[in-house]
Structure 1
Amino acid sequence: MKFLIAFISTFCLFILSLELSEVRAAYKEAAHDKTKVEAFNKMLEGVTKNSTVALVAYKGASIALKGKYAETIKDKKEGFFNGVSYIEFAIEKEPNAIEPRFVRIGIQENSPKILKYKDNINEDKLFLLKQYNNISSTDLKKHVKDYILQSKVFTDEEKLTISKQ
């Protein structure tokens, strides 16, 4: 019994010790560098669907990114859609949360057309543009801004508006 309590306590402390700023940075690195995907995935190993929606969305992204580099097409597809299920769960749980929408648009924009996971790009784009000024975390705001400025789904006019803020 003592072991179980110690394990649960350690597990809870691990989840609480995850800093969103570190997770965001790891996500950005993993999205651009195949060698960083495994570390990003391990970072979020203890995250469950009971965690905060931001962490659930990032866990989904980590699984989807890991799936991208699986050996077989079947494993790639299964990994991708398993990861997507976490992202969609986070958005269903809190539809007005910015971070899961930010994660979803990044995954959708960069997913292959064959996977047919691009339906919410415009919705999430409009959501981010509308909510950008309401982002209270300067770290999240910087990540969203950096994403928008390099993204192909945002127009030059939209990028200019965001870059001035």
Structure 2
Amino acid sequence: MKFLIVFISLFFTILSVDLDVIRIAYREAAHDKTKVMALNKQLSAITKANNAALIAYKGAAIALKAKYEKSIKEKKRLFIEGVTYIELAIDKSPNAIEPRFIRIGIQENTPKLLKYKSNIKEDKLFILKEYKTTKPEILKNHIGEYILQSKAFSEEEKAVILIP
């Protein structure tokens, strides 16, 4: 009986995760420790069996959390755990733009010493190719805002997303 109650609670927790809410929370968490911790809490019920976008956001949230840890060992452990989720999401849905968008954001902002920068060019090309047909609009806007402030994209590439 306890198992059934736990299963039902977990099921409704997972269903109650609104992807649009997570997208906004992720954008806001980029440079705010309390929002990173809140995002991690929101995504705590997400497992590797969920959809690729949620898995990628969970990975990004864990990787962002690593930034605020005190010990190097814990920073490394959390970063590796987060990256594992992101890579799993891309393996699970290689043609989905959202996990690649999340990965490029993490890779672009990761220190060189972590050696997690090898997919920036690949993800950038994929995102530029898929951007015009991206749905929903909130995701497209989020990606567009990222591209415009990103150092990974040239001025010519940024101009492409501004053309209607």
Assess same fold via TM > 0.5: yes
Structure 1, residues 113-143: CA drift from partner, whole Å, max 9, x if none? 0000000000000000000112121111011
- The letter of the residue matching 1:51 is N
Q: 1:11, 1:75 → 2: CA distance?
A: 27
- 1:1-165 equivalent positions in 2, closer than 5 A: 1=1, 3-165=2-164
Partner secondary structure for residue 69 of structure 1:
coil
RMSD value, Cα:
0.9
Structure 1, residues 71-114: CA drift from partner, whole Å, max 9, x if none? 11111111111100000011111111111001000000000000
Q: 2:13, 2:96 → 1: CA distance?
A: 23
Structure 2: state its 5+ residue gaps. Answer: none
Structure 1: state its 5+ residue gaps. Answer: none
Partner secondary structure for residue 95 of structure 2:
coil
Q: In 2, are the aligned partners of 1:27 and 1:58 still within 8 Å (CA)?
A: yes
Q: 2:135, 2:26 → 1: CA distance?
A: 20
Q: 1:128, 1:146 → 2: CA distance?
A: 13
Scaled by the length of structure 1, the TM-score of the pair is 0.96
Q: In 2, are the aligned partners of 1:57 and 1:103 still within 8 Å (CA)?
A: yes
* 1:66 shift after superposition: 0.6
* 1:34 shift after superposition: 2.2
Q: 2:95, 2:73 → 1: CA distance?
A: 33
Q: How many positions carry a matched residue from both structures?
A: 164
Scaled by the length of structure 2, the TM-score of the pair is 0.97
Structure 1, residues 7-34: CA drift from partner, whole Å, max 9, x if none? 2112111111111111011111111222
Q: In 2, are the aligned partners of 1:149 and 1:163 still within 8 Å (CA)?
A: no
